[in-house]
Structure 1
Amino acid sequence: MVDIRTFPRGDVVTADPDTTASDLASRMAEEGVGSIVIVEDDRPVGIVTDRDLTVEVLAAGEDPSSVTAENVMTEDPVTADAEAGIFEVLSRMEEAEVRRIPAVDEDGAVVAIVSYDDFVALFGREVAKLGSIAEAESPSYGE
């Protein structure tokens, strides 16, 4: 079974709750990610997305250098066991109505993150493989 640690993601981008919004935005740009997991003692306590920064900071007219992650993060993010299967994680995402979910190890430390887009890409690749198999096994129709 494929667990969510096998997704081709780089290191999870994390930050402390006192990280400023401007620093979070810079990190997102540098790392090419749309979210940062906020941690204390390697355990997820929140998550900040690029949308959070746009809506809660910029659109609200706040100073990005004075607003911290703690001010804009979604607290107590929904997590999944790092060994959870993809359908279990998808179900958790659907129930919680979230697009990103951190995976934690048995000690509760963040070890991975998976997004809705990761699943779309995975399923797209798998459907393409099925298409190739079906095409290879199908008879020729008078080319």
Structure 2
Amino acid sequence: MTVGEICNREVIVIQRDETTLEAAKLMRQYHVGAVIVVEAQNGRQIPIGIVTDRDLVVEVLAPELDNTVITVGDIMAPEIFTIKENMTTYEAIEYMRRKTIRRLPVVDDSGELVGMLTLDDVLELLSSELQDLAKLVRYEQRKEIRHRP
């Protein structure tokens, strides 16, 4: 299965010069824990950063900075990790583990943002797969009982 098949295609985005207050409002409105900072390049939305709810707490709220002045560009991580939509979920899991990140913006071959893969998405997929395997075990046991009483 590819990342493009399981990622969330509805990604909440923000521009670098928007305030951290606006980022917080978007997170609340859409019930998400992160927004992707994008930059327009040739009509495409290219991810250049990410701001999480934790970033807001640690970088703005705890030091009591003015969230109407501090921009997402001021606090976003200097490096963003992305993943291509045609990569396998296994590759994505390995990449998340190596980079110790919970959220990955998904891009197409041109680098345009097309989705977001989160640890929650991966856990949901894996739990579903494990549940299917458990059903198979139960089915095999029942089949054995019916055919060899």
TM-score range, shorter chain: over 0.9
Relative to 1, partners in 2 of residues 1:59 and 1:66: Cα closer, same or farther, differing over 3 Å? same
2:94 aligned to which of 84, 91, 95: 91
| Structure 2, gaps ≥5 residues long | none
Residue 64 (structure 1) aligned with residue 88 (structure 2): no
Aligned length: 139
CA offsets 1:2-51 (integer angstroms, 9 cap, x no match): 11121262411111001111110110111111111101011111000000
3-state secondary structure, aligned to 1:61: coil
Rounded to whole Å, the distance in 2 between the matches of 1:59 and 1:76 is 23
3-state secondary structure, aligned to 1:138: helix
Taking structure 2 as the reference length, what is the TM-score of the superposition?
Answer: 0.89
The alignment-based identity, stated in percent, is 30
Q: Which residue of 2 aligns with 1:110?
A: 113
Aligned structure 1 segments of 4 or more residues deviating by more than 3 angstroms = none
| Structure 1, gaps ≥5 residues long | none
Residue 21 (structure 1) aligned with residue 24 (structure 2): no
3-state secondary structure, aligned to 1:30: helix
Rounded to whole Å, the distance in 2 between the matches of 1:85 and 1:117 is 16
Residue 5 (structure 1) aligned with residue 8 (structure 2): no
Amino acid at match of 1:5: G
Partners of 2:51 and 2:75 within 8 A in 1 = yes
Rounded to whole Å, the distance in 1 between the matches of 2:51 and 2:112 is 17
Structure 1 residue 75, shift from structure 2 partner = 2.4
Give 1 or 2 for the bigger CA radius of gyration: 2
Structure 1 residue 82, shift from structure 2 partner = 1.0
CA RMSD of aligned residues (A): 1.2
3-state secondary structure, aligned to 1:103: strand
Amino acid at match of 1:137: E
